[in-house]
Amino acid sequence: MAVADAERNGGGRNGGGPPGLDDERGTTNGDAVDLVRARAALLDPPPGARRLGPAALREALVDLHDFWLSSRAAAVGVGEGSALVAVGALGRKELAPYSDLDLVLIHDGRGRKGGREQISRVADALWYPLWDAGIGLDHSVRTVGEAIEVATTDLRVALGLLEVRYLAGDPELAERLAVTARQAWRAGIRNRFDDLVAATETRWERSGEVAHRVEPDLKNGRGGLRDIQLLDALAAAQLVDRPTVDVQDARRLMLDLRVELHRRAGRARDVMQAEDAHEVVAAAAGELGVTDRFDLARALSGAARTVVFATDTALRSARAALPRRGLAALRRAPARRPLDDGVVEHAGEVVLARDAQVSRDPALVLRLAATAARTRLPIAAGTLHRLADVAPELREPWPRAALSELLALLGAGEGMVDVVEALDRTGLWGRLFPEWGAVRDLPPRDRQHVWTVDRHLVEVTSRAAELTTRVSRPDLLLLGALVHDIGKGRDEDHSVVGERLAAALGKRLGLWPADVDTLAAMVRHHLLLPHTASRRDPEDPATVERVVETLGADPVLLELLHALAEADSLGTGPGVWTPWRATLMGDLVRRCRVVMSGEPTPGPTTLSEEALSLAKAVADSGRPEVSVSGDGELTTITMTVAAPDRPGLLSRAAGVLALHSLQVHTADLGEHDGVAVDAFTVSPRFGRLPEASLIREDLVRVLRGSLDLPARLEAKERDYDRPGPAPAPSRVLWFDDEATGAVVLELRTGDRIGLLHRVAAALESEGLDVRWARVSTLGSSVLDAFCLETAEHAGLDPECRRRVEEVVLAAASSGLSAPERPVVG
């Protein structure tokens, strides 16, 4: 069997290699140990020595390994009829500190000087020192013909051979391998293209987007280094041009980041975790050209999106450029199909018609974009670049035709996302909206957002397009969605800045003055409804009156803000818009509409007949009662708990619900004739809804003291909670309602089983009564608001707030339930 058929993966600590080297092989590993020591000195220079930046370190590592490998190859007999070549990271001169070495020993197969046995001894003398020194190694020994034959069936090998770089031995043999591999790649690309695309899409699905992941995979993610290598491979097949300067800049940034990740971790690592950002910036801010982790995230997002756009464009161009054979070569070129004025489809792409008057048609860019979004066809790269070069600037105010096409684009829903991305990557979107520059690639400041700010605006607009039939002014809804966060990335409150920018933008678009005012108000108050619904009591007349006063009793603005709040939540991330949140906001909007229509402010909802019946039963028996409202198959249901009113009831009831795997979304606390009637909106964390009788039994046992609730919750959290991403630091915010004297404490922390129980117990331990609670679960994070009764607490002075904040944060971070201390009055 040919030595070429034996492929081994890296040795030493990477596994798979031989444990050592016996004396019969006649080689030692001393010089490989010297290689490791030299590499360590580069990574951790002695005191007084200069720390190499990522690019300089990468170059030094390549030089070091090239020198050692070429010297070693010469010493063990690599020469006439054989050659050592590098592929992979070393072949591309992109070696990171702990990258594997990808090496191929090529021989001519003529059996000189001992034949195959001699080649085998030479190979062992090369590989074994590296294995024994713990250096990761992928290797093969082949003739040129064998290497090309393997490449015809193994796509990874074929791509690797496109990166062949000579290290030692016979240069003509290495050159023959490189030339033959490229010729074979070009000749076979038609038959391999679909496999190449399929492998790429599988990798994207597995590794996610570099631009939008909190912890991006720099190597394998969409927009990462593998995609740049794909562009090189398509260029080697002569299907597309070599990567542009922007792509090469993106390559350098991601290579530099990968070097710093390896250096920080002390091992090979391609995923940049959240905690890495501070360390990377602290170590190499100057070399990377960034100032903080947000600046780094923005730079990486921009680089990745540049690569994504280039990759998508290259794949389309490459498919169109594939050589046609047989009957396909005889077919006529695809005809141009008219789509709109000056816009046609050609070969599955949207292009300009031959008679399109680009310099005389100011709405052409937006009409072409709207057509692409509507038909879900990509815009040809050549068309985009032509428009970027010659399309005229839109005068102010915009022509009505341009505004109509913009609204058509925004109303296309999901189809607009890729179109706006293409316009933005070629500079056309920024020309239309200069304000976009401040939010482009701007990373989010909180974990619930999964997109950069500019992509979030596009996603929200896409979601708003689905809600246009619910509002009387769909045009303003779409425009408001597009610019609601346009004020971010500046030092002031983004809603205040955004209001000014939206007003200027509305005038530029040619909106009527009243519509400009409405658009600006949408941006200024886009957080009013969600914040009020989660931080205030919608049943309090003062809450409703404040919203109405803020909006100026404008029902159209209220309607638009309601739809915008839903679209904003849907475009933020999974799990942000939930049925219970929709119910909260819908109730607030309904009450505001009543007041805007001139009717009296609705008062608090009285207890239902069912709740009153429960309270009467508790008063008669002294035993807690539990009832369930709604279909158990629904996402959320209402569970009402009635029990003799006593301090600590909320925390105990919340703990029992958590014990039965129920996630609490809202808690409204009421009282009737000495009986506490607490209504919880809940949903099962997993499985089915438990029987109400079981919950009642456990609640009775907790109140009697026969059930150790803290211990049971601790055990449940230990058994069912699973480690997630590193949690962000917990945070407490305070909000005062001057009209009612109420104080709202808002807790932002990681989600955990029994969290509401622990926090409520902490509040109760400070002698505070909770009027209502709103619990918002956003992926692995929660935003919990508690309205605290202050009649006996003088508005909670700063010292009291500091103490409450400490116990709440301690309860949120503790793995155990908060201790149940005596509750005052």
The tens digit of pLDDT for each residue in 729-768 reads 788 888 876 556 678 888 888 777 888 888 988 998 888 8
Helix (H), strand (E) at residue 706: none
Q: Any residues with CB less than 8 A from the CB of 761 and at least 6 apart, and which? A: 648, 651, 811, 817, 818, 819, 820
Q: Enumerate the CATH 1.10.357 domain ranges in the chain, comma separated.
A: 3-187
pLDDT for 673 equals 82
Is the bond preceding 397 in cis, omega lying within 30 degrees of 0?
yes
pLDDT above 50 (res 53): yes
The amino acid occupying position 69 is: L
Lowest mean pLDDT among 306-315, 419-428, 537-546: 537-546
Stretch 79-92: mean pLDDT:
94
Task: For residue 145, give the 3-state DSSP assignment.
Answer: helix
Q: Is residue 456 within 8 Å of residue 444, measured between CB atoms?
A: yes
Residue type, 606: T
Residues 218 and 304: their CA atoms lie apart, in Å, by 9
Look at residue 18 in the predicted model and tell me its pLDDT.
30
Cβ atoms of 557 and 551 within 8 Å: the answer is: yes
Mean pLDDT value across residues 530-553: 85
Pairing of strands 101-107, 137-143: parallel
Does the pLDDT of residue 818 top 70, yes or no?
no
Percent of the chain with pLDDT over 70: 87
**Highest mean pLDDT, choosing among 326-335, 482-491, 593-602:** 482-491
What is the helix, strand, coil percentage profile of the chain, to 5? Answer: 55, 15, 35
Element containing residue 565 per DSSP (H, E): helix 555-570
Residue 771 has phi, psi (to 5 degrees) of: -80, -45
CATH hierarchy code of domain 3-187: 1.10.357
Q: How far apart are the first and last CA of the chain?
A: 88
> What pLDDT band is residue 332 in, cutting at 50, 70 and 90?
low
Residue 449's pLDDT band (boundaries 50, 70, 90)? confident
Q: What is the mean pLDDT of residues 329-357?
A: 83
Residue 157 and residue 153: Cα distance in Å, rounded? 8
Task: Give dist(CA 672, CA 642) in Å, integer.
Answer: 10
Say how far apart CA 767 and CA 758 lie, in whole Å.
Answer: 15
Q: Could you tell me the pLDDT band of residue 20, with boundaries at 50, 70 and 90?
A: very low
Q: pLDDT of 644-656, one tens digit each?
A: 888 788 888 889 8
Each residue's pLDDT tens digit, 489-504: 888 999 999 999 999 9
The whole-number pLDDT of residue 148 equals 95
What pLDDT sits at residue 17? Answer: 34
Element (H, E) at 216: none
3-state SS, residue 823? coil
Query: Where residue 24 falls among pLDDT bands split at 50, 70, 90?
Result: very low
Question: For residue 326, is pLDDT > 80?
Answer: no
pLDDT digits (tens, 9 = 90+) for 102-131: 999 999 887 555 567 889 999 999 999 998
Strands (E) in 329-394, as ranges, are 337-340, 343-346, 349-352
At residue 728 the predicted structure's pLDDT band, cuts being 50, 70 and 90, is low
Beta pairing partners, 107: 82, 143
- Taking only the tens place, the pLDDT of each residue in 616-631 is 888 888 888 888 876 5
**DSSP code at position 409:** H
CA distance 231 to 242: 7
Task: Give whichever of 6-20, 414-428, 635-649 has the largest mean pLDDT.
Answer: 414-428
105 HSE (CA, 13 A, CB side): 33
Residues 669-714 have pLDDT tens digits of 777 888 888 888 888 877 677 888 888 888 888 888 888 888 888 8
Phi, psi for 706 (deg, rounded to 5): -90, -5
How far is the C-alpha of 59 from the C-alpha of 612, rounded, in Å? Answer: 78
Q: Is the full-model pTM beyond 0.85?
A: no
Which residues lie closer than 8 Å to 194 by C-beta, 6 or more apart? none
* pLDDT tens, residue by residue, 198-234: 999 999 999 989 987 778 999 999 999 999 999 999 9
Q: Helical H runs in 237-363?
A: 245-265, 276-288, 293-321
pLDDT value, residue 779: 55
Q: What is the pLDDT of residue 345?
A: 94
Q: Residue 682: beta bridge partners?
A: 637, 664
- SS3 string, 433-463, reads CHHHHHCCCCCCCCCCCCCCHHHHHHHHHHH
pLDDT-based confidence at residue 29 (cuts at 50, 70, 90): very low
Q: What mean pLDDT do residues 151-176 have?
A: 95
Cα–Cα dist 104/89, whole Å = 13
Q: Are 315 and 189 a contacting pair, CB within 8 Å?
A: no
* Angle at 605 (CA atoms; ends 599, 608), nearest 5 degrees: 135
Other Cβ atoms closer than 10 A to 23: 7
Share the mean pLDDT of the chain.
85
pLDDT tens digits, one per residue of 765-778: 888 888 777 777 66
Confidence category of residue 334, pLDDT binned at 50, 70, 90: low
Q: What is the mean pLDDT of residues 142-148?
A: 94
The predicted structure's pLDDT at residue 443 = 86
25 pLDDT exceeds 60? no
Q: What is the CA radius of gyration of the chain?
A: 33
Render pLDDT for 227-282 as a digit per residue (tens, 0 to 9): 999 999 999 999 999 999 999 999 999 999 999 999 988 889 899 887 788 888 88
Q: How far is CA 761 from CA 566, 716, 746, 768, 784, in A?
A: 33, 18, 15, 10, 14
- Please tell me the distance from the alpha carbon of residue 618 to that of residue 623, in angstroms, as a whole number: 5
Instruction: Give the pLDDT confidence score for residue 167 in this predicted structure.
Output: 96
Which one has a higher pLDDT value, 482 or 293? 482
pLDDT mean over 164-183 = 96
Residue 553, pLDDT score? 86
313-327, 380-394, 525-539, 791-805, range with greatest mean pLDDT: 380-394
Amino acid at the residue 149: E
Would you state the structure tokens that stand for residue 141, as one six-digit string? Answer: 């020994």
